[in-house]
Each structure stands twice: as C-alpha cells, then as structure tokens.
Structure 1
Amino acid sequence: MEHTLFVRSFLELQWSNVLKFFGNDEKLTFVLGTSMVILTSFCVANAFFMFLDFTGMPAFFHKYKIQKDKNVPVETRRFLYCCVVSFRNVLTSCGMIYLFYPLMRAVGMSCTSPLPPAWRVLFEYVVFILVDEFFFYYSHRLLHLPALYKHIHKIHHEWVAPISIAAFCTHPVEHLVSNVLPIFAGPVLVGSHLCVAWVWLIMAHVDTCLHHSNYHLPLLSSPQFHDYHHVKFNENFGANGLLDWFHKTDVGYKKSIQYKRHVTYYQLKPITEIFPDDNGKQN
C-alpha cells in the first residue's frame, strides 16, 4: 500500500512539473504538448531504423530482416521521398491537434490533477485497442477498394518490403482516416486524461513503426503480421488480428511461416532460424 502511494505521489509530481513547463496553460499543454509528444515519439521510434535503412549499417542487424536483402540499403532518392511525405503527415497530425482541442475539452478530456486510478487506465487501454482495431480495419479495407486504392492507398503499398518511416508514407486522406482517426478516437470517446492519451500515442507510434520496419528484433513487438499484408496485399487488414479473425481475412496467413514467427522472442538467434521454412530455408 505504501509502495502504491509512493508511486502515485511520484507520478503526480512529475505531471505537475509537465504542467509547469507549459505555464499551467491548459490549451498550450493540450496543443503544443501533444504535438511535441507526436513529433518526438515519431522521431525516436524511427531514428535507429532510418540510419539502418539509409546506410545498411550495422550489418549485424541484417540477419533479423524479414524480407532478406530488400532495401539494404534503401535507394537514396526513394528514401528521401519517403521521409518528406512522412514528416509532412506527422506535422499535419500536429496541426490537427489545434482543431481537435475544442472537441477534446467538450468530451471531458482533462490535463489537471489528480491522475486517474490504475483500474481506469487499464479500462481505457482496452477501449483504445478495440477502437483502434475497429477504425483501422474498416478504413484500411475500404482503401483497398480499386477506386480508392489507385488514387490513395497505392502510395503506401509501393513499399512491398516496408521500412519503419514508411508507416506514415501515405496520401494525406489516408493519413487522416487510417492513421490519425484510429489512434485518437479512443481517448476522445472515453474522455481520457491527457497523460493517459500521451502514453497511448507514444505506444501507438512506436508499435506502428516497428510493424513497418521489416526487422523482427528480439524482445520487441513482432512485425510479421503487417509485413505479410504488404507482401500478400489481400489479408491482415487490421492492427491486432481480431477483426481479421472475425471476417476470415487471415486464412492464408494462418497457414504461413509468418504466422508461426509472429511472436516476441528472447534470444539473439534470428526468428528465421528458430522457425525455418518447411524446406529448411530461413527466408
């Protein structure tokens, strides 16, 4: 009990310092603070992979690549184009926060103390995951309709062997409908405390970049599920597989070696050696 009170007091103090940093200005905390969280989490999540993709170094990590020898390193012109489009979209997300601020306040989102109890945070994160899956699955599947795919979603699928920063290399419409909406909808629907929303945004950005990295690294979230979508195109439309199971858009995937490899593992040996193909090959 004392330990729990200590942790809570510590977190309250840190959040108080965050509010002081923004001059205890609610709008500034919501708008500038959230924008800083979005931009910083995007840059930090991508920094290592951007260096690895652009230079091909350190070569030690190549053994963890899912689609072997593809984009190692990435062609310079293509890489820079991807960076420009992705940063444009992330900056658009930051701009959208200013427009979302009245809505966030209207639904009861707060940045003041006290922080919500642990049970409330856990409940909200379950909601976030389900809401994210709902909006991402159906918006993503909609974008695969021929008319929309040709003019919108094709930009993202040019990366058959994706790189982390390509997570946001999309048409602006897709970015708003399939990237921004699924992530922000949960916190808005339940009127989350801003601190809870920030942690969710960080987790979502890191996970999205990992799932596009094409590197399945030890200890980290597996990118096999979404990487399979980039290769096969017509399966694995969702974020976590729940609606793909419901709609049976994962039938081929569940018969694949990628399905077996879709785990978080805890050894330095590459996942391709732990689960080789049926013919003994690692790719």
Structure 2
Amino acid sequence: MLPYQTLQEAETSLGRNLTFAETLWFKYSAQKSDYILYCHNTLFLFVFYTIAPLPFVFIEFMQFKNIGKFKIQKKVKNSLSDMFRCYKTVMQTFVLAVGPLQLFSYPVIEWIGIRTGLPLPSGSELFWQLLVYIVVEDYANYWLHRLLHCKWGYEKIHRVHHEYTAPIGFAAPYAHWAEVLILGFASFLGPLMVPGHMITFWLWMILRQVEAIETHSGYEFPWSPAKYIPFYGGAKYHDYHHYVGGKSQSNFASVFTYCDYIYGTDKGYRYQKQVLGKLTDKLRSNGEENGDAYHTSVQDLKYE
C-alpha cells in the first residue's frame, strides 16, 4: 500500500509532479494492499488464457482459405467441445495449483523487495528487466522441460501436456498440476534475481502468457512481429516438439532456440527442415502444391 494519503503528499515526496501513468497508479493502488496487487497475477492468468486464444478458435472454425494455409498441421481439426474441454481443464488446474501457489509465494515476493510504490519504472528499466526475465526463464525452462522428458518425468507428469500432438492456443498451459508448478518456477526466477516494480512483474507474466499461447496456436503467420526477434522459436518450432511427442528429444526451447542449438537438441528438427526444404523445391519444380508436405516428410524421418 502506498505511504501517501493524497496526490499532493506523493508529489511532495518525489519533489515533482506525478506523470499521467503515476497518477493512474496512485488512484488505483493507494488503498490496495501489496498482497492484493500481487494477486492480480492470478486474475491475469484467467483473463488472458480465456481471451487470447479466441482469435485462433475463430480462425479454426471460419476456415478462411487465405488464413488456413498458415495452419501448421492442416489435417488436424479440433471441435468446439474439444477446445472447451481443454479450457475447462486448464481453469481447474489454475484453481488447484496456482491458487495455493499464490498464498505460499507472496512472502518470498515481499522478502525480495518487489515494490509497489512510486516512482514507476522508466521505459529503459522495464526493457532491461524484462529482457533479463526472458533470458533467465528461457534457460531454466529448457533444462526443466528437458528433465520432464526423462522416462519417469514424461510418464508421470509431462505426458498430459503432450496429449495435444497438434497444439492449440488453449492447450498452452494444459498440463499436470505438478508441471504447472515446476515450469512456473522458471518464470519466477528472473523477478527473484532482479526484483523490480509490481508493474514490471505484471507485464512479465502477461508477456509470458501471450508468448506461450502464440507458440501453441498451431498457426505460423508470416506477418508475426515475433519473426524479427533473433533466435525466436515460434509456433512451427514448438509444433515439431509436440508432433514427435514422447519420443521427442528435440526443441525443448521455451522462447529462443540457442539452447537447443548449443546442446544439440535441435538436430532432428534441422534435419527435418532440410529434407522438407528439398521436398518443397521438388514439388515446386513439378508444379505441385505443398499442403501436406510437412506430414508426409516428417513421418519418414528418424528422430534423434
């Protein structure tokens, strides 16, 4: 809770006028405890995992010809009931896993010093802290995800997430409750190492959710701004991991691809991409369409 009763007190303490954003923050947060502000994170989970996948659901059922060609696994069709079942299961997992986590993790958040007061973080502070969070989460997630693909981890926990061999947006957090907690730890590591403002923490959690939904969307759009991010994996990269399923020892990356490249866990994907590229060139030279090339080529490959 802010230690000021009025805007004038806040401005006197800072020695300047509040910015527009700081004024909004004061009016919203002044009478709310830090714990209530932290609990907004759970609200964001429910809201964004409800709304963000809806455009992909709309595209799936409207079957726009010009957009449908960007679907990665074209032969897979998901019914509305299947999608709703997935959504309902995810919400139940959030209630059972994220709710208790919220209660037990707040003392840690308070201890490390994630602040809620004024001033708000600058644009450069936001950028660099979010960059640190992304890199830290990506590296930790790589190893935790890879660990979940060991025999025991896959059979007992991770196989739930791989029920979707063709991922959809609603399935981004579709997982065993233990996996939600395990991989959720990777998301908390950055803020634990470099604590910032609660606004930064919120933005990080929202950004992570949106990225996970995009990666599991099942569509690879050429106009996606994420394509311009260096070493970004994207939907097609992660789709390969799901398509191979339990046998997959490839493409463990959360956001970036550098860990897979450094540790040699993208060899199968690179080999598939090379073969698919040759197949595409051959089909084009013969004047044929390449709609099912992904599936016909991938089934003949031996994955490492």
- How far 1:98 moved relative to its partner? 2.5
The equivalent of 2:88 in structure 1 is 84
The CA distance in 1 between the partners of 2:106 and 2:202, in whole Å, is 14
The equivalent of 1:234 in structure 2 is 249
The CA distance in 2 between the partners of 1:163 and 1:156, in whole Å, is 11
The equivalent of 2:25 in structure 1 is 15
The equivalent of 2:75 in structure 1 is 69
The CA distance in 2 between the partners of 1:259 and 1:190, in whole Å, is 43
Unpaired runs of 5+ residues, structure 1, are: 1-7, 262-274
Q: Deviations over 1:134-155 (max 9, x none)?
A: 2211111111111221121111
Query: Is the partner of 1:252 in helix, strand or coil?
Result: helix
Q: Report the TM-score when normalising by structure 2.
A: 0.76
The CA distance in 1 between the partners of 2:237 and 2:114, in whole Å, is 33
1:135 aligned onto 2:143: no
1:116 aligned onto 2:121: yes
The equivalent of 1:36 in structure 2 is 43
CA RMSD of aligned residues (A): 2.5
In the superposition, relative to structure 1, how do residues 172 and 162 fare at CA in structure 2: closer, same or farther (>3 Å)? same
- How far 1:69 moved relative to its partner? 2.4
- How far 1:89 moved relative to its partner? 2.5
1:188 to 185, 192, 202: 192
- How far 1:68 moved relative to its partner? 0.9
In the superposition, relative to structure 1, how do residues 279 and 85 fare at CA in structure 2: closer, same or farther (>3 Å)? farther
2:270 to 254, 258, 264: 254
Query: Is the partner of 2:164 in helix, strand or coil?
Result: coil
Q: Deviations over 1:42-100 (max 9, x none)?
A: 222122224445xx2243432220111212xx145543432222112333324422221
The CA distance in 1 between the partners of 2:274 and 2:114, in whole Å, is 40
- How far 1:218 moved relative to its partner? 4.1
| Greater shift in the superposed pair: 201-210 or 185-194 | 185-194
In the superposition, relative to structure 1, how do residues 276 and 216 fare at CA in structure 2: closer, same or farther (>3 Å)? farther
The CA distance in 2 between the partners of 1:81 and 1:116, in whole Å, is 40
Unpaired runs of 5+ residues, structure 2, are: 1-17, 227-233, 284-289, 294-304
Q: Deviations over 1:144-187 (max 9, x none)?
A: 11122112111111211111111111111111102x11222211
Q: Deviations over 1:227-266 (max 9, x none)?
A: 11112322110111121122011123234439999xxxxx
Contact 1:152 1:171 in 2 (8 A): yes
Percent identity for Structure 1 against Structure 2:
27
2:215 to 211, 214, 221: 211
In the superposition, relative to structure 1, how do residues 161 and 192 fare at CA in structure 2: closer, same or farther (>3 Å)? same
The CA distance in 2 between the partners of 1:167 and 1:207, in whole Å, is 9
The CA distance in 1 between the partners of 2:212 and 2:46, in whole Å, is 14
Letter paired with 2:204:
W
In the superposition, relative to structure 1, how do residues 24 and 238 fare at CA in structure 2: closer, same or farther (>3 Å)? same
1:244 aligned onto 2:244: no
Contact 1:133 1:242 in 2 (8 A): no
Contact 2:89 2:174 in 1 (8 A): yes
Q: Report the TM-score when normalising by structure 1.
A: 0.81
The CA distance in 1 between the partners of 2:87 and 2:32, in whole Å, is 34
Look at both structures and tell me which one has the larger radius of gyration over its CA atoms.
2
Aligned length: 255
In the superposition, relative to structure 1, how do residues 166 and 104 fare at CA in structure 2: closer, same or farther (>3 Å)? same
